[in-house]
Structure 1
Amino acid sequence: MPTPFLQIHPKDNVLVALVDLPKGAHIHYGTLDFPLIQNIKAKHKFAIRPFSKGDEIVMYGVLVGKATRPIAQGESLSTLNTTHAASEYQIGADKPSWKAPDVTFWKDRTFEGYHRANGRVGTANHWLVIPLVFCENRNIEVLKSALLKSLGYHTTTDFMVDTESLVNSYKTGASTEDILSTDIIRTPEDIKQKRIFPNVDGIKFLNHDGGCGGTRQDSKTLCSLLAGYITHPNTAGATILSLGCQNAQYKMLEEAITERDPHFSKPLHVLEQQKSKNERHFIEEAVKKTFLGLIEADKVARRPAALSHLVLGLECGGSDGFSGISANPVLGATADLLIALGGTAMLSEFPELNGVEQELINRCETDTDAEKFANLMQSYSNRALAVGAGFDNNPSPGNIKDGLITDAMKSAGAAKKGGTSPITDVLDYAEPVSKKGLNLLCTPGNDVESTTGLAGSGATIICFTTGLGTPTGNPLAPVIKISSNNDLSRRMADIIDFNTGDIITGSASVEEKAADLLEYIIQVASGKSIPAAVRLGQDDFIPWKRGISL
């Protein structure tokens, strides 16, 4: 039977309960033998020695907090006795050497992707419909209702209710019994067969509340983000709706597109409402041009591509006390495998890297990147403090309830998603990924703002670990949900794609699960497996306005 508790790192002075432990239970660990002085819930931590007020608390081998009052041996850590604390960091420390994992098994593997003119390869083939300003959101909704159902795209669930079959039966005089016996549920396979354009995976509508009324910087950042979506290898082309007078002018978007792809050649239809005859003509023209664009997009079919073309976004949300032990290390090991194969990964959510900055700085290949990362972290922290917040406010009520009681504790586990490879580049929000290997991308910890940024910077698939469960998805990059525990995988099977809970029970290793996850990623990248967020049409898109969002 596996041990009911775990010391994550030899330097740690706390243990993690893997199951509920009762008051009075004796803990035998090394030379230690002591009773628990209270009930300890699974996922929570307890002291292996007495702490005095001000003593440092270490997990994952790093400082994650300090005692705010004496804590007895065998007592649970909580917000009542522990506060956030993180180590200082500096540039110029020794860089660790990296031993890449053995990837012989995958070296000749391929995925079925969409090859683009600029040499990049997508995992999906979408047409985008984008407003340059929130004033066009209503027109975007009109286009959505005009296009999706008639072209065979249904995004509300993993099945469709075909009410038209009932209408047809009624019109032909069907009896009550006939109507009740009519099959009206359509599976994803049935729905795909009805698509007018079978090689176009979806038409995606990027509603947002920006483009005007904010700062000019907000509009410029929005245009840079939208350019990332338009030039993305998962995008076949786009229809752009502009009002005409907004801050986010098409010229600004055009410059951002050219900066990312100087030889941009995808179909792009731009319509300005203030130059149209009337709204009806504006919508009519948008529908017709989108239809013509879809005809071109459908000419592209999946072809084999090396795994080195994959760009993996690393994300977490609704984390729990097991995330840093199971799901995040598995994702990190998977990222290492992909990077060893010549691929790319991006680690985001800078507020959730607070406390592990030194480790990441040491892994940067150049001091320039190390300085950029440190400066971005410091600038972000200063903006938070300026409005009376701070990284220490980052853990959500759900995080705290499930054992993540300080930001540094949460960060130390979250950083495990980044594996162990060297960091080849550091990107600010909406900057495009251009270097193979592990990239750090500055985004908020907010799930949707972060996944929106990952796709905008070029992630072709996003792996999203969770301990509590969240339906978050993305309109462009398939989002794979990875649970940290078996209970979540059972309870929310409708949104979870991959489970790492067997690591907690001791029936699987991180390495075994990482190999399985890479295999699943290949299936998703090839369009052979459809993640739950895609099936459910969870197309979350929230651009970050660079304000304080933790």
Structure 2
Amino acid sequence: MKSKLYKISPNDNVAIALTDLIKGEIQDGITVLSDIKSPHKIALEDIRKGENVIKYGFPIGHALCDIKKGEWVHTHNLTTNITSALSYSGDYKNDYTPSKSNITFEGYERINGEVGIRNEIWIIPTVGCVNKIASVIERESQKFISGSVDGVFAYSHPYGCSQTGDDQENTIKVLSALAQHPNACGILVLSLGCENVNVSVLKEHLGNYDKEKIKFLICQESDDEIKEGTEIIKKLCEIHKDDKRTSINVSRLKVGYKCGGSDAFSGITANRLCGEVNDMLTAVGCTTVLTEVPEMFGAEQILFKRSLNNDIFQKQVNLINSFKNYFVSHGESCADNPSPGNHEGGITTLDEKSLGCIQKGGKSIVTDVLTYAQKATEPGLNLLYGPGNDIVSTTDLTCSGVHMILFTTGRGTSLGAPVPTVKISSNSKIYNKKKNWIDFNAGRLLDGEDVKFLAYELQSKILSIASGEKTRNEINNYRDISIFKNGVTL
């Protein structure tokens, strides 16, 4: 009979319940001491108070009390090992030499040498005051979509004015990065005119921008901003309706990774599968990006060992400690995570969540560490400064220039970014329930399917999406942005 317990590493002293366990039943010679919901944890041996609980072969925290073999392990008897900023040392040098590949996808060559996988027109408000105007222009412009133009989309946000310092700088970074994203063939930057992040400020940050791609409209200076805005969109649609996709080497593809609504299966199915795919992509020179820095806490030293060199190692140390200091500066615990949904899904501590989260990076060498909303340019695995919040981090990933995001989930989420957001379920139950949200089912790994086979299948899906296949978030038109808020509002 197939075991109901899943032990990830030989060194683990807990296992995951694959199905609900009933008090008194015997599994793998272990008597279950209480009802345990799937996919929560069961102790495989007696664990003394203060001893580490091991999962993925690493500590996920320590026991708050003596835990008996067969007992449920969760928030009542397990707590985190994570503390504030730490000192780290090491001497790292790893080889990263990608091979050449003949694999291609069908994308759009941009004038500046970049590549897009969509041919969309984006409306970007500089300030929340013009959000509704942007929405009206978006609605009125739908009739102009034809040919190769994939759509016209407005991205509302509440910021752009009454901000100061780094908080305002974050808004400028995000809006500038969106305006230059290669998945957009045309951009209308919509300004009120009197805001902090006004057109002149944005132009200065954009530098030598493509004036044929990026257009500006200041509403206070226009007699009829709706008419003028829709005319700009009409012209952009006309210019790009005959754009053609061409064959592009896979090495020019940029892919981001995100998890949200995770459960205890995420680290062993969906995130693990992404890790396999990530290793395949970086092996042929693709650029991949992993963010959610707080969900690296407790697992950071695994990533440190994969640093390309000591400079990248030090950048990783600064990435981790600066985000920990951000928490402390606001009087918050560095381990104030997981979310209630994560707890319900069997994830107890941030250490555990982080060890599952970093599985998305596979075993790839970390070749660069990026600041918030910084463009990724180095092939290999890049780490991006940003929080775990789903909308903020998917926006951050978009701003790093990724063409699509692989988004794993065990609880289910409908969220989409401006770029195609590929939802990958950690279990078959949520996939079958929410097929209108989810693109790929990694839960098949729990049914015994081979991870290498599924990785090739997911890679094929990625190439199809890069060549124009729509994701569920695109079909549903679920697209949002949110900017990392860190400062005073005047």
What TM-score, normalized to structure 2? 0.95
The equivalent residue for 1:227 is 176
1:83 positional shift: 0.7
Deviations 1:280-328 (A, max 9, x none): x222211112211221122322111111111001011000010000000
Q: 1:135 to 1:494 in 2, by over 3 A?
A: same
Q: 2:215 is paired with a residue of what secondary structure?
A: strand
Go from structure 1 to structure 2 and tell me whether the alpha carbon gap of 1:547 and 1:358 turns closer, same or farther (over 3 Å shift): farther
Report the alpha carbon displacement of residue 89 of structure 1 after superposing the two structures with TM.
6.2
**Structure 1 pair 335–89 and aligned structure 2 pair: CA distance change class (3 A):** farther
> Is 1:90 aligned to 2:88, yes or no?
yes
| Shift in alpha-carbon separation, 1:99–1:219, aligned structure 2, 3 A | closer
Alpha-carbon distance in structure 2 between the residues aligned to 1:547 and 1:54: 39
The one-letter amino acid paired with 2:240 is A
Amino acid at match of 1:490: N
Structure 2 SS opposite 1:391: coil
| Counterpart mapping for 1:284-295 below 5 A | 284-295=227-238
Kindly state the Cα deviation for residue 267 of structure 1 after the two structures are TM-superposed: 2.2
Please tell me the residue identity of whatever aligns with 1:131: P
The corresponding residue for 2:393 is 450
Match for 1:74 among 61, 70, 73? 70
Q: Aligned pair 1:306/2:249, yes or no?
A: yes
- How many Å separate the matches in 2 of 1:204 and 1:49? 55
The aligned runs of 1:5-84 (5 Å cut-off) are 5-28=5-28, 33-84=29-80
Matching of residue 478 in structure 1 with residue 420 in structure 2: yes
Report the equivalent of 1:510: 451
Kept in 1, the 8 Å contact 2:376–2:401? The answer is yes
Deviation at 1:439, TM superposition (A): 0.3
For each residue in 1:311-368, what CA deviation from the matched residue of structure 2 results, as whole angstroms up to 9, or x when unmatched? 0010110000100000001011111111112111100111111111111111111222
SS in 2 for 1:392: coil
Distance in structure 2 (CA, Å) of the matches to 1:489 and 1:498: 8
Match of 1:417 in 2: 360
What residue is the counterpart of 1:521 in the other structure?
A: 462
TM-score, normalization by structure 1: 0.85
Deviations 1:76-106 (Å, cap 9, x if unpaired)?
Answer: 1111111111486623145567898xx99xx
Question: Amino acid of the residue matched to residue 293 of structure 1?
Answer: L
Which of 297, 305, 322 is 1:362 aligned to?
A: 305
The residue type paired with residue 194 of structure 2 is: C
The aligned residue for residue 238 of structure 1 is 187
Following superposition, the deviation at residue 265 of structure 1 comes to 4.9
Task: String of CA shifts for 1:230-268, please: whole Å, max 9, x gaps.
Answer: 21110112111112221112233223322xxx4635422
Instruction: Determine helix, strand or coil for the equivalent of 2:406.
Output: strand
Contact kept in structure 1, 2:92 and 2:308, CA below 8 Å: no
Deviation of 1:390 after TM superposition, in Å, equals: 2.4
Aligned residue among 380, 383, 386 for 2:323: 380
Task: Check the 8 A contact 2:217/2:229 in 1, yes or no.
Answer: yes
Matched, 1:273 2:219: yes
In structure 2, the CA distance between the partners of 1:95 and 1:60, relative to structure 1 (3 Å rule), is farther
Change (3 A) 1:129 1:510: same
Q: Does the 8 Å CA contact 1:216/1:247 hold for their aligned counterparts?
A: no
Counterpart CA distance in 2 for 1:197 and 1:457 is: 29
Q: Which amino acid aligns with 1:351?
A: P
Matched residue, 2:439: 497
1:207 aligns with 2:207: no
> CA contact under 8 A between 2:96 and 2:308: conserved in structure 1?
no
Structure of higher CA gyration radius = 1
- Aligned partners of 2:218, 2:112: CA distance in 1, in Å? 28
Offset at residue 545 of structure 1 (A): 1.8
> Of the candidates 122, 127, 130, which is equivalent to residue 133 of structure 1?
127
* C-alpha deviation, 1:6, in angstroms: 1.7
Classify 1:47/1:96 alpha carbon distance in 2 versus 1 (closer, same or farther; 3 Å): farther
Distance 1:45 1:398 in 2: 16
User: Could you tell me how far 1:382 is from its partner in structure 2?
Assistant: 2.0
Question: d(CA) in 2 for partners of 1:257 and 1:119?
Answer: 17
RMSD in angstroms over aligned alpha carbons?
A: 2.0
Q: Given the alignment of the two structures, is residue 342 of structure 1 paired with residue 285 of structure 2, yes or no?
A: yes
Among the aligned pairs, what percent are the same residue?
37
Q: CA deviation at 1:136?
A: 1.0
